[in-house]
Chains A and B, each alone.
Chain A
Amino acid sequence: MDTTPAIEVSALVKVFAKRDKRTIRAVDGLSFQVPKGSIFGLLGPNGAGKTTTIRILTTLLAPTGGEARVMGYDVVQNPLAVRRQICVVVQESAIELHLSVQNNFRVFGRFHGLLADEIQRRTDRVSELFGLSEYLNEKGMDLSGGLKRRVQVAKTFLIDKPVVFLDEATTGMDTFNKRATIQAVKEESQKGRTIVLTTHVLDEAEVLCDSIAIMNHGKLVAQGSVDSVKAYGLRMMSLSMSLTEVSPSTIELVRTYQPISIDIKNTTLDITVKDDSTVLAILTAVRQHTEVRHFEITTASLEDVFIQLLDKKARTA
């Protein structure tokens, strides 16, 4: 059985020289692996180095140091072999504005070696999947931003490359199309394709990804399955309480337990804390102080962990 990972990144470094002679380490000693047939999410705030990493993996940029392999091919030594294994939704909106949607598909299919009949057959399938059938004869320049993005994403499902890179693919899409994209990504993964995505929408990553890596300032902050990364949050828990009234003294009381975050919506308090014992302590204290109509304890969301991890790193730095 072939156990070679779809993607192997080892001590990857990318340094950009600025005009004023300063240098920026956009990627700083990054290492991770992505198993074949899995969905991998690269998360992080703006400027974390996600897109630079994707650009190196898709042969758009050469790394300054370290190694990166896609399906066993080195991105520096054998970029053409890498390009034969991948299809990419780049972060920029990329569509042929002067061509119809149909011709956008035709050109993309030709570049990836499909014959005309096959392109037509697959165009029918993906245009139905992404709700593009009625726009096939529209020119790219006449489409809305969301539709352009949809065409761009749909193109990648026209071909069968083993690795798909989606850089902020759902940006600008409405809920319906986000859902269609997420569904399509899941189906493609089940067929054995490896999907690498970057996103700011953590809920999306939580629903889609088998494993994730969180980046900040070019470095890896956390890595593993969604559950294991959530566990990095040191048993972080969320407590949601509906009270008869939220008084300043109640909030002051909660603050004494040093929660990670407090969110107040009318008479509801959403609190994230470091561990389960703190949850129980807060709940007991608040019940003694005021009437709690309803409460719910859950493990923290990926977003809570994400914020906590980035905050912790920033404080350490």
Chain B
Amino acid sequence: MFYRENGQFKTSYRSDQQIFPVRQDRIFIFAVLLLAFVAVPLLASDYFIKALLIPFLILALAAIGLNILVGYCGQISLGTGAFMAVGAYAAWNIGVRFPQTPLIVEILLGGFFATLVGVLFGIPSLRIRGLYLAVATLAAQFFVDWAFLRIPFFTNYSPSGNVSVPALSVFGFSLQAAIPKYLFVLSFVVVFALLAKNLVRGAIGRQWMAIRDMDVAAAVVGIRPMYAKLTAFAVSSFIVGVAGALWGFLHLGSWEPLAFDLNRSFQLLFMVIIGGLGSILGSFFGAAFIVLVPVALNHIPSWFGLPLAIDTAAHIEHMIFGALIVFFLIAEPHGLAKLWTIAKEKLRLWPFPH
């Protein structure tokens, strides 16, 4: 009844190629953006914004980056944490050595350095795949872990290895309070999500998916596997690096290498699998899910009068994530994003059963 496409004829390729061709989808997205940019700052508590929304947004951005590599191009990576670390530390180093640099430039440069490292560790993908590539990315993860811990140059000779950022501001506006931070992060995420969407629906996106689906056939239509794979690593690491810089600067404030360790890499991989491989929207779903589960585990049992100890909750979290990964891989490899699409299909027919 509500979700009908009747009457929405496309008369040009341009209109057929829009990101949201169905009018109801456009209205929905507009509403979501309105909610995000206007309602949330007015209504949400500082705690909600700082503890839930900002981490959700930044992790969703990192998940988009990882999804491009794993979901769209089919190259597995267990070293995402390392690229986030490069982004964060590079941005920080620039800020420390060139204090005049504007915040946005710092963050983008962080992404740029992450790109360099990403492409370097992506070179093995030209020769190996699957498990073997996973091992190569693990090498990146452990090496970067060590580098930021033991090479004093990167932490500006800080004795504890801990770094922190000064008070942040952009275009003269201070970013100390929750709402300005939130709007800054939100803007970054919306812009990058749009850029990512444009890439995956364009020529390079098709190249990536061709490599993922059958790289031998891709060569036959003239796609260069090297170009496709390295650009996937480059774009993915750039986005992940930017997310890393945002995470360090705007969420943590101060950090050490542990913030970007192997657990972070696994967490992002889970977001991408649960949310949906090969889906920008899915990255948001996955991030929301992973951010919400610990919160749910902390609050819901106490509603029933059975509060869980913190570490029990952590263990149950592990079990839930593990079980869900297996479940989604067996039942719905396209994750929550596919469930969303199926729900929309059903909505199309509603109130009719078929």
Asked if A and B bind, the verdict is: no
